[in-house]
Amino acid sequence: MISEHLLVKAPSHSYPIIIGYQMDMAQQIIPYITGHQVLIVSNETVAPLYLDNLKAGLASKFAVFECILPDGEIYKTQESITKIYDVLMNNHCGRDITLVALGGGVIGDMTGFAAASFMRGVNFIQIPTTLLAQVDSSVGGKTGINHPKGKNMIGAFWQPRMVLADMATLTTLPKRELSAGMAEVIKYALIMDESFLTWLEKNMSALMTLDFELIAEAVKRCCQYKAQVVAEDEREAGRRALLNFGHTFGHVIETHEGYGSWLHGEAVAAGMMQAAQLSQRLGWLGIEDVQRIQSLLLAAKLPIVPPPIDPQVALDLMGHDKKVKKGQINLILLKALGDACVTDDFSPTLLESVLAPPLPSDILE
């Protein structure tokens, strides 16, 4: 029986992460609902799978409303946020409303942003149904939407009241989405714990076939890592930036190719390879370290080569990254496996060499 309870001790407030298998979602979240009104936000893919049971479990105690949005990163926009506001306003929802995010990272980010901004902040709960959301985006309070010139550029820090991660939801997850989520799992190993990297190398085959005990262990470890970082740096003023390893490169891919063309985890995977290459060219990683990263990403069925993007176009898109300071691009790179840093100590020429689209056969050269 899978059952794990973790606690995120964020400066704003502490909250639990409950990890389990085939849980009664409604009964798990009821203690964390404020007031008598609940709005469940989901999308057209997830809602048919879980919404009716969740609503039925809440209906005897609360007035339950729903907002079903289109599925996909392309809909992570102000228009979708306005649809959430419309449901709240049309049903005369008050400040004691609880918003429930039922879906993946896109739904979680948007629901959190709506909760942060409606009446200047209301309660919300995360029920992540993708691996990526369970291990990363549902924890830590980052919320927001995309802008045509940059991913997640509009948003707020707003912590959930609790996070409920049911491993059973992964049985309905497409294989491509499972792989995308595994990119974030691998990220935690690369930036924080080489022993976890070794564990992933040993267990990746079983993880990809949904061994639920192992998946739950991976989710727990990632949530523990993130909880530790969020407790130290809730608003990404320092160490929390390390969690963006691969993301500056990856966001270039997502923005250039069009949101949703590459899944977030796919873009992060290719971005981690670029960051690893730059780390190796700086003399921090050995070629064997980069080979380990490549092999693990391939075992998770993730891309290791970005799409062809002109380096100058990529640099321009990087200029919109939230980690740019005083006009200087800051990147998260690896001093060693399990040891990341934020740095601007690299030459533009070296960065451009990594941004130049490589051939697959040249990826480690």
Provide the annotated active-site residues. 120, 142, 184, 226, 236, 240, 244, 247, 251, 264
Q: Report d(CA 71, CA 345) in Å as an integer.
A: 40
Q: Which tokens sit at 200?
A: 């992933």
Q: Cβ(170)–Cβ(135) under 8 Å? A: no
Where residue 347 falls (left for φ over 0; alpha for ψ -120 to 50; beta otherwise) is beta
Contact between residue 158 and residue 234 where contact means Cβ atoms under 8 Å apart: no
- End-to-end Cα separation, the chain, in angstroms: 46
Q: Residue 112: is it exposed, middle or buried by C-beta count within 10 angstroms (0-12/13-18/19+)?
A: buried
CA distance 130 to 138: 10
How many C-beta atoms surround the C-beta of residue 61 within 10 A? 12
Matching residue, tokens 């799978």: 49
Q: How far apart are CA 341 and CA 242, in angstroms?
A: 7
Are the beta carbons of 166 and 25 closer than 8 angstroms? yes
Partner residues linked to 259 by β-bridges: 262
Q: Are 11 and 69 in contact (CB under 8 A)?
A: no
Instruction: Report how far residue 152's alpha carbon sits from residue 159's, in angstroms, rounded to the nearest whole number.
Output: 16
Could you give the 3-state DSSP secondary structure of residue 328? strand
